[in-house]
Amino acid sequence: MTTSKNATYDLVVFGATSFVGQILTKYLLDNYGEGKDVKWALAGRSESKLKSLKSDLGKDGENLPVIVADASDEAALRNLCEQTRVVISTVGPYALYGEPLVKACVETGTDYCDLTGEVQWIRRMIQTYEEQAKASGARIVHCCGFDSIPSDMGVWFLQSKAEETFGVPCQDVRMRVKAAKGGMSGGTVASMMNIAREAAADPKLRKELANPFSLCPPEHRSETRQPSLKGAEFDKTFNAWLAPFVMGAINTRIVHRSNALQSARYGKEFTYDEAMITGKGNKGRFTAYGMTAALASFFTASAFKPTSWLVNKFVPQPGEGPSPEEQENGFYDLRFVGRTPDGKTMITKVTGDRDPGYGSTGKMLGEAGMCLAFDIPKEKEGGFWTPSTLLDGDLLERLTSKAGLTFEVVETR
C-alpha cells in the first residue's frame, strides 16, 4: 500500500450521517472493519447525530472516531484535513455547501473524492483551485458515484479493449442505459433543482451547461459536432427507442475531460453521448416521448419559485431515499457502442448489482476513497482528475472484486 501523507487517519467520511453517508459508512465497516488495516473516522456537523449513527452500527462501529466539523467552518475543516490523507464527501448540494472543504483539502495537500454531479460547481472549483492543488499535491476527484464512474470507467474499459483488439481507440462511443431499477433520493433532487434555478437566473451559465467541453482545458476542443439527444429518437443499433438520460449532462463532460487529460487518447475528434433505451415498437416510442416530456417539465418547474414549491411537495426531501430492500433489489445494465474511424465496432457492457444512485454509489464511492488512500503513487501529481485518469486500472479491479460491478466485451465486429 502506497501512502502520500503522514496523518492519523487513512480516510475520513465527511457527511457520514447523510443518506449516502450512512450507506457508505456501513459498507466500509462491513468490508474494512474499524481501525485495524484501515484507519478511518466519521465526520459531520452534529456530534449527537454521529454518535447516533455509531449506535445504529452496533458493536462493530462503537470504536470509530468522530470529528465534528460544519461544512461552512473553514478552521474546523482545515483541522479535519490535517488529520487524514483522504476525505470522502457526501455533503451536497455541493454548489451550496462544497467549496470550503475543497479549499481546505487543496490548502493542506489532502486527497479528496465526492459524488457530485453539478457541472457548474466542478468547473468553478477547477478554475479557482487547480493551480493551487497542483502545487500542494492534493488530488481532487469529483463524480465518484453513479455519475460518473460507470460511464467514465466504461469508456476507459472499452477504449482499452479497442486498442488491444483493433490497434486504435474508437472515435465515436455511445452509451445506452439498457435497464435500471432504483429510487431517487432527496439529496439528488435538491442538487438537480438547484442547477435548474441557477441556470434560469444566469444566461452565461446556461451556455456553459450546453458546452460538452465545459470541464476540459481551454485548448481541448473538437471540430466535430457532438451528438446530444434532446428528445425521443430511434436507435438502429439496438432496434429500440431512446429518451434523454438525466445523468448524461454530467457524464459526457467527465468523459471528455478524461480524454483531454490523457492528451486526446480517444482522438481529437472523439464524440460521445448517452441515452436511455425505452423499448421497441409503439410502446417504446410512447415511453420515450413521455419520459422526454416529464424531464423537461421537471426542470422547467424547478427553475422558478412559483412552481418549484409544488415540485418540492411531490419529490423526496434531503435525507430520504430508497429502503435497504429497494437498494438490494436495484441494478443497472449499461451498453457502450464504440466505432473506429474505419468502421470496426465493439460493444461492451457495465452492470451494477444494487440500485444505481445509492446502494451501488455507496460502494463505488468507498472504493474510490480506498483507491486514493492506498493504490495511487505519491508521485502522481496534484490537481483535478477524473476517476479513470487517476484511478484507472486500480479502481477497475476494486469495482469488480469488491463493489459488485462487471465490465465485459459483448460483441466485436
Contacts of 263 (CB under 8 A, 6+ apart): none
At 249-288, the pLDDT tens digits run 899 999 999 999 999 999 999 999 999 999 999 999 999 9
pLDDT at 337: 98
Q: Spell out the alpha helix ranges (H) of 239-391.
A: 248-261, 281-302, 305-313, 324-329, 361-374
The rounded mean pLDDT for the chain is 91
Is residue 112 a contact partner of residue 105, using CB atoms and an 8 Å limit? Answer: yes
Distance of alpha carbon 17 from the chain centroid: 19
- Round to whole Å and give the CA distance between 200 and 158: 37
Q: Which amino acid is at 27?
A: Y
Model confidence at 308: pLDDT above 70: no
Is residue 250 a contact partner of residue 282, using CB atoms and an 8 Å limit? Answer: no
- Round to whole Å and give the CA distance between 410 and 151: 16
- Which band of pLDDT confidence, cut at 50, 70 and 90, is reported for residue 1? very low
At 384-401, the pLDDT tens digits run 999 999 999 999 999 999
pLDDT at 5: 65
Q: Which residue has the higher pLDDT, 36 or 96?
A: 96
Q: What is the mean pLDDT of residues 295-318?
A: 68
pLDDT at 34: 85
DSSP 227: P
Handedness of CA 56, 61, 62, 64 (dihedral sign): negative
Model confidence at 16: pLDDT above 90: yes
Q: Which amino acid is at 180?
A: A
Model confidence at 307: pLDDT above 90: no
pLDDT at 223: 85
- Which band of pLDDT confidence, cut at 50, 70 and 90, is reported for residue 36? confident
pTM for this prediction: 0.93
DSSP 316: P
What CATH topology corresponds to 9-145+359-402?
Rossmann fold (3.40.50)
Model confidence at 306: pLDDT above 70: no
Dump the DSSP string for 93-108. -HHHHTHHHHHHHHHH
Model confidence at 316: pLDDT above 90: no
For residue 232, CA distances in Å to 94, 174, 244, 278, 361 come to 31, 16, 7, 9, 28
